[in-house]
Chains A and B, each alone.
Chain A
Amino acid sequence: MADPLATVETKAPPAPARQGSGRWLVLIVPYLWLLIFFAAPFLIVFKISLSTAAMAIPPYTPVFDLAQGFVGLVRGIQEFAVDNYLWLVSDDLYIRAYLSSLWIAAISTFLTLLVAYPLAYGMARAPKGWQPTLVMLVILPFWTSFLIRVYSWIGILKKEGLLNQLLLYVGAIDQPLTILNTNWAVYIGIVYSYLPFMVLPLYAALERLDDTLLEAASDLGSPPSRAFWQITFPLSLPGVIAGCFLVFIPVTGEFVIPDLLGGTGTLMIGKTLWTEFFNNRDWPLASAVAVILLFLLIIPIVLFQNMEQKRAERER
């Protein structure tokens, strides 16, 4: 018997033997587009992160002078400087911003999972006829602007906002709470904005779960609460992992939520990069910030990409 694990490698169908060369245009057009507009820019970011800021347009030196050809290239490389990186490592503001970004992303990913799991579970266990509508209802807020959804929380979380008014009204508190401009507001904003990204992969994993597996567990003596941890949760793990990646990675570099909901004490690297770029106009330093952020995220991104690719191949 062939080892089924070995079939993953050979799963991709062999390319048909003879087809027109026009067929390769299908691949080449998007390939080139992404190479030019997605991959190549990273090299440029890296290059500029080694430059020095200058009062000029564009505001950095050296600028590659391609008209000078190879000589220009060599001269450019000679002028490269690692000053920006030294600066980033020596100032603990940046290090703290990186660490705090990762920390906030980790906590809010966990909170999102806590909120999303019961919702996805309830959806997957709902009557079959309801499910498309429920999925639609999860996606619908996603179609409305991200900015608007974050913004709507300002009116709720403010000192004189609706949440405080409600809590005062029911007598749960007698002094309005300060939520806006704290990390709590950031957590709430992230959980709220990224909820669909967590719910959808979780739902996909839970919905696939075969009911007879739970019946079998019950038949073999496992009560429902135990069967959840023995069967349901382990089998939903691919969804949990995919959801966590989809939330954790972009949240680490998030700018809008900490900017609008967070306070001065909320340190996030996306905000730092924005400030360096727009307020201080230090493009090389902003580039260095981006390079290190990318470096931190490269492992989760590669893991995520591998996982998605494997999943796509399995479904084929």
Chain B
Amino acid sequence: MAGKAVGPVRRSFAPWTDPASKPFIEFRKVTKRFGDFVAVDDLSLIIYEREFFALLGPSGCGKTTLMRMVAGFEGPTEGQVLLDGQDLAGVPPYRRPTNMMFQSYALFPHMTVEANIGFGLKQDRMAKGEIDARVEEMLSLVKLTPFAKRKPHQLSGGQRQRVALARSLAKWPKVLLLDEPLGALDKKLREETQFELTDLQQKLGLTFVIVTHDQEEAMTVADRIAVMNQGRIVQIATPSEIYEQPNSRYVADFIGDINVLEGRIASTGNGVVRLECIGTGATVEVDQDLTAAPGDTAWFAIRPEKISISLDRPQNGTINAVEGEVWDIGYLGDVSVYHVRLPTGATMKATVTNRSRLVERPITWEDKVWLTWTRDGGVILTK
């Protein structure tokens, strides 16, 4: 991740770092209750124009409710939702410049692909010739031109997904809302479509908001991700920040695989934190600025791919290193995941890239091994 000029223009797109940027979608202290249940809890959030924004969280965390408030299917119990500076309160869904791609696609079963895509345009009383031209354009955009006359039930899952996408894009909405758009597709198709989506978003220059519970999907497509839990936002950041610098155990655990070791702060200051992990018998030293007092409980979080595994005892003593025994090996093809049992009974995971074609690995079951990591490999979390 060294060279700054490697990536396309995309890299430099970061309106959230510029205080002069104008908010496009803004939630101001929004609360939404359904009876006793609080779906969204005093939440404020700004999304910028042309951004691809992901709302990520487990089911019931309020992410769908948040999106439905933008579309107009729900109104906030308290607070305001603004789009391009205009308060959306009282504006019904059919008058909002937003369109949604539904999780179930919600294709009208009695209409052809063409009629589905043209439906929104017809509502705006657009001239027939213009509608036809736009539908044609959308069909070729999603590569469905030969299927124009079919009904939804005559299409495969992937084709239906693309009809739904074309239908929600046909009106050039100011904001496109995507509710778990790829959930119903199989893995390979999903990966392909993820790239198509980002491509499309950059080409069209629209604002996309996606709701998903799939962290990989969020990381692939989004400029920024908001990780949500119980109606609140836990962290908003770019995908790499979310992955490398989670601000809490919740985020660390939700995104990807991670080892979390509990311990007590031994010392802080000078950009170095020292943590004693009694449960795992490790002493951890991390380059990090942290406001915490010695004796406080804290957690060391480190991703398996940032741990090295070796049969030899490390030279620089027992800091950032633990000894253990290989308990299990998960062979995934590209990498192998080693589950290492520590003397205290805890286990840690380390992944090793399989660089050779040897079927016999140098490290195998019941081997005594050392796990080591660097001072910038993990992060210390206080919540």
Contacts and interface: CB of A to CB of B under 8 A. Distances in A.
Direct contact of A and B (CB under 8 A): yes
Interface string A58-93: 000000000000000000000000000000000000
A210 interface: yes
Contacts of B92: 218, 223
Nearest to A235: B110
For the residues of A in contact with B, the DSSP-based class is helix
Interface in A185-224: 210, 212-213, 215-223
Contact of B93 (A5, A210, A219): A219
B119 interface: yes
6 contacts: A215-B102, A215-B106, A218-B92, A220-B120, A235-B109, A235-B110
B231 to A, nearest CB: 22
A5 B105 CA distance: 21
Contacts of B124: 221
A1 interface: yes
Contacts of A216: 100, 102, 106, 108, 167
B149 interface: no
Contacts of B119: 217, 220, 222, 230
Contacts of A213: 106, 108-109
A219 B108 contact: no
A4 interface: yes
A210 B110 CA distance: 13
Given A210-B106, A212-B102, A219 B154 contact: no
- Which residue of B108, B110, B124 has the most chain A CB atoms within 10 A of its CB atom? B108
Q: Max chain B CB contacts within 10 Å: which of A4, A217, A220?
A: A220
A230 B115 CA distance: 11
A5 B153 CA distance: 9
B123 A220 contact: yes
B94 A219 contact: yes
B154 A4 contact: yes
Contacts of A219: 71-73, 93-94, 96, 98-100, 168
Contacts of A230: 119
Given A210-B106, A213-B106, A226-B123, 4 more contacts: A218-B72, A218-B94, A219-B71, A234-B110
Contacts of A226: 123
A235 to B, nearest CB: 6
A234 B108 CA distance: 10
Interface residues of B, number: 27
A5 B149 CA distance: 14
B94 A223 contact: yes
A220 B131 CA distance: 14
B77 interface: no
A57 B72 CA distance: 77
A5 B154 contact: yes
Interface in B157-206: 167-168, 171
A5 B152 CA distance: 12
Contacts of A235: 109-110
A315 interface: no
B12 interface: no
Contacts of B153: 4
A261 B168 CA distance: 56
Nearest to B120: A220
A231 interface: yes
Interface residues of A, number: 21
Contacts of B167: 216, 220
Interface string B116-157: 000110011000000000000000000000000000011010
Interface string B320-352: 000000000000000000000000000000000
A283 B93 CA distance: 66
Nearest to A1: B156
B240 interface: no
Interface of A: 1, 3-5, 210, 212-213, 215-223, 226, 230-231, 234-235
Contacts of B59: none
Contacts of B108: 213, 216-217, 231
B104 interface: yes
A5 B72 CA distance: 37
Contacts of B96: 219
A221 B106 contact: no
A212 B94 contact: no
A3 B94 contact: no
A218 B154 contact: no
Contacts of A5: 154
**Of A5, A221, A223, A235, most B-chain CB atoms within 10 Å:** A221
A93 to B, nearest CB: 45
Contacts of B110: 234-235
Contacts of B73: 215, 218-219
A262 B372 CA distance: 97
B195 to A, nearest CB: 23
Interface pairs A-B: 9 shortest CB-CB: A220-B120, A221-B123, A216-B106, A212-B106, A218-B93, A218-B94, A222-B123, A221-B94, A219-B100
Contacts of A234: 110
A5 B119 CA distance: 24
B102 A222 contact: no
Nearest to A222: B123
A75 to B, nearest CB: 59
B176 to A, nearest CB: 11
B110 to A, nearest CB: 5
A210 B94 contact: no
B372 to A, nearest CB: 52
A84 to B, nearest CB: 47
A127 to B, nearest CB: 13
B94 A222 contact: yes
Contacts of A221: 94-95, 120, 123-124, 171
A161 B112 CA distance: 55
Interface string B210-221: 000000000000
B156 to A, nearest CB: 6
B103 to A, nearest CB: 8
A311 B222 CA distance: 44
Nearest to A234: B110
A223 B93 CA distance: 8
